[in-house]
């Protein structure tokens, strides 16, 4: 509880108390549950609060607005027990990561299973497929057709080819109708036409390479041919 009080005191120095009287509630402490990628500081940032004689006054309406606006939060609840405010949060799970190449930098975007951006320039915990793309793939704030198509294939793999989904390290766009796939811990560059039948072939061929402990430099998987180089 001393640590929570210290956090709130620190935040008080940065946040002016401008909350409405009717929404300012008094609590003995603030407890957080369910935080994985978010911090306590981010949750309370901008929320009016202050310490008062061993208690904490916090604008609960402002807190609800803050939580509702955070893209990383799936759902939340506020409750009180024993004079303590309990903030319980369920964070959204990232489905894939986009590495968007600009001229001078690469911006990372975390995307959820609904294909919505939940974090910018912030890599979240856990491993998931990485998609390398370009700035033009986000023109107008919308994903390009090729990115949407690839994420659609990923969603299919997550449901129907779970083992392959877990093994995929990254995708890169090579040319129209072709992508490069890298599997975790393998040196082979798989050049494929991104169709479901070819992802099934990729899983079989990748499994064969694992069984033989042999990884060619490149394997091309197309509808009409498979080439090993």
- Average pLDDT of the chain? 90
Is the whole-model pTM more than 0.85? no
CA 201 from chain centre, in angstroms, equals 28
Average pLDDT over residues 71-95: 95
Domains of the chain, start order? 2-91 (3.10.20.310), 96-228 (3.40.50)
Burial class (CB in 10 A: 0-12, 13-18, 19+), 16: exposed
The predicted pLDDT at position 52 comes to 83
Calculated CA dihedral for residues 9, 14, 18, 23, nearest 10 degrees: -40
Distance, in Å, from the CA atom of 165 to the CA atom of 152, rounded to the nearest integer, reads 12
Average pLDDT over residues 99-116: 93
Residues 6+ apart with CB under 8 A from 141: none
Average pLDDT over residues 43-67: 92
137-187 tens-digit pLDDT: 999 889 999 999 999 999 999 999 999 999 999 999 998 889 999 999 999
Q: Is the separation of the CB atoms in 113 and 130 below 8 Å?
A: no
């Amino acid at each position: 509880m001393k640590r929570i009080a210290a956090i709130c005191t620190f935040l008080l120095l940065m946040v002016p108390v401008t909350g409405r009287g009717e929404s300012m509630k008094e609590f003995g402490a603030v407890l957080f549950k369910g935080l994985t990628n978010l911090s306590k500081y981010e949750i309370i940032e901008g929320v009016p609060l202050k310490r008062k004689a061993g208690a904490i006054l916090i604008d609960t309406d402002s807190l609800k607005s803050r939580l509702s606006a955070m893209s990383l939060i799936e759902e939340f609840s506020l409750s009180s027990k024993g004079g303590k405010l309990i903030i319980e949060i369920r964070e959204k799970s990232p489905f894939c990561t986009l590495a968007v190449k600009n001229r001078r930098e690469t911006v990372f975007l975390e995307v959820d299973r609904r294909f919505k951006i939940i974090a910018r320039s912030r890599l979240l915990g856990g491993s998931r497929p990485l998609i390398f793309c370009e700035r033009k793939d986000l023109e107008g704030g919308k994903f390009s057709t090729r990115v949407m198509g690839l994420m659609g294939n990923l969603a299919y793999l997550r449901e129907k080819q779970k083992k392959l989904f877990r093994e995929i390290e990254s995708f890169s766009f090579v040319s129209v109708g072709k992508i490069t796939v890298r599997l975790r811990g393998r040196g082979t560059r798989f050049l494929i036409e991104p169709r479901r039948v070819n992802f099934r072939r990729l899983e079989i061929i990748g499994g064969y390479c694992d069984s033989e402990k042999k990884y060619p430099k490149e394997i091309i998987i197309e509808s009409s041919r498979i080439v090993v180089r």
